[in-house]
Structure 1
Amino acid sequence: MAESSGSYSTSDLSRKSGDIIAEALRRPVTITKRNKPRLVLLNIEDYQRLIRLSARRAVGTIETMSDELFAEFESVVEAFADEDEAGRL
């Protein structure tokens, strides 16, 4: 039996895989082991959306910024510093 809506134990998965898969096609389903979340089953569209979103979050450094972006960043930092300095006077 399901622990709560959308959450099943690993033993539920072996006994009711068809029902769990059907639910996972509609919304993400958590699989628990010893009452701790261990896996999430989700449909391919949700998975692909997550992959697309994570690809947009590429990590960069100042050294990898374009000159244009670095100039914009620098001007924003300088404006913030000027405002902070004016607030202290």
Structure 2
Amino acid sequence: MSRQSYSTSDLSRKSGDIIAEALRHPVTITQRNKPRLVLLNIEDYNRLRKNAETRTVGTLESMPSALLAEIETAIDAYAQEDDADPGKHG
């Protein structure tokens, strides 16, 4: 599915056609040959918003202790392996 692109001038002249196309798939609106906007149907918009809301940023402080312990063990094992054979990882 190729994403169709229209200029802001096209949007003024062909708004009905562009809206109809945007109901089927996202449409890029350009201004001076640079992408500036994306027109998409409400279902796609809601899906994107929902997915954005489920993303979280984690920190070492918020990481479960068991996972942090596994990562620390793996790092230690990697460092010991690297110390034993300095030419192996580079």
- TM-score bracket relative to the smaller structure: 0.7 to 0.9
In the other structure, the counterpart of 2:77 is: 79
* Residue in 2 that maps onto 1:88: 86
Post-superposition CA distance 1:1-50 (Å, at most 9, x none): xxxx6111112112211111111111111001111111001122322333
Which ranges of structure 2 fall in alignment gaps of 5 or more residues?
none
Match of residue 47 from structure 2: 49
Alignment of 1:9-88 (within 5 A): 9-88=7-86
How many pairs are equivalent? 85
Please report how far the alpha carbon of residue 56 of structure 1 lies from its aligned counterpart in structure 2 after TM superposition: 4.2
SS in 1 for 2:29: strand
State the identity as a percent.
66
Mean CA deviation greater in 33-42 or 55-64: 55-64
Q: Report the TM-score, using the length of structure 2 for normalisation.
A: 0.74
TM-score by length of 1: 0.75
Runs of 5+ unmatched residues, structure 1: none
2:70 is aligned with what amino acid?
A: E
Q: As a proportion of its length, which structure holds more helix? A: 1
Q: Alpha carbons of 1:56 and 1:80: their partners in 2 closer, same or farther (altered >3 Å)?
A: farther
